[in-house]
Amino acid sequence: MTQEPTDVVDAIAGLEPGSPLAALRRRRPDVSRHSQGSHDVLLLPEDPGGLSRAERAAIALRLALANKDEGLAGHYRGLLRQAGGAALVAAAEHAHAGDVPARLAGLLRHADLLADGPRYATKADLAALATLGLGNRDIVALSQLVAFVSFQARLLAGLRILKEEPG
């Protein structure tokens, strides 16, 4: 019998295959499969459109850091290094520094807005994304990415709490 590959959440949470917590996650296989599928589609798409894989990884890193999840940030740092190099990692980590490319700074600024208070996003904010060269598909992908990384951070926080509970 072949073993199902470990997904990103399992790896970051340190869930060992066959452990009680891993078994609990496998009780809802669709949730795990769709979570990993969302990761792959949002961060490693075959056709990234107008939002490059490096930009996607930079946004995800920024959000993982905002959620104070170093494990998740480490995962996205690795993806960003593969896609864009160390300079982009520094830019994502310190987006308020003056040496961040204008497009990336705008993308990170919008991700911060959505993460901190999506109800404050306006038509002007969407128009600003269009001036950065994003089409409607890219803007939707950016919004989905923000929501997804926030979901991952909450899921990981819950798994860590459950992992610490006496069995």
Task: Read off the pLDDT of residues 121-156 as tens digits, 9 standing for 90 and up.
Answer: 989 999 999 999 999 999 999 999 999 999 999 999
The predicted pLDDT at position 131 comes to 96
The predicted pLDDT at position 78 comes to 95
* Coil, helix or strand at residue 1: coil
Distances from the Cα of 115 to the Cαs of 11, 27, 28, 121, 122, in angstroms?
24, 30, 27, 10, 14
Answer yes or no: is pLDDT of 41 > 90.
yes
Query: In CATH, what is the architecture of 36-160?
Result: Up-down Bundle (1.20)
Distances from the Cα of 140 to the Cαs of 41, 89, 111, 113, in angstroms?
13, 23, 12, 15
**Burial class for 81, CB neighbours closer than 10 Å (0-12, 13-18, 19+):** middle
The predicted pLDDT at position 75 comes to 97
Mean pLDDT of the chain: 89
How many Cβ atoms from other residues are within 10 Å of residue 163's Cβ? 14
- Could you report the per-residue pLDDT of 67-80, keeping only the tens digit for each? 999 999 999 999 99
Answer yes or no: is pLDDT of 31 > 90.
no
- The region of weakest confidence among 2-16, 65-79, 115-129 is 2-16
Query: How many whole angstroms from its chain centre is CA 159?
Result: 17
The predicted pLDDT at position 4 comes to 46
The predicted pLDDT at position 96 comes to 58
The predicted pLDDT at position 1 comes to 37
The predicted pLDDT at position 71 comes to 96
Tell me the two tokens of residue 107. Answer: 């993308």
- The region of weakest confidence among 19-28, 39-48, 83-92, 123-132 is 83-92
Tell me the two tokens of residue 92. Answer: 């994502």
Residues of the chain above pLDDT 70, percent: 93
Q: What is the mean pLDDT of residues 6-32?
A: 88
Tell me the two tokens of residue 118. Answer: 């999506």
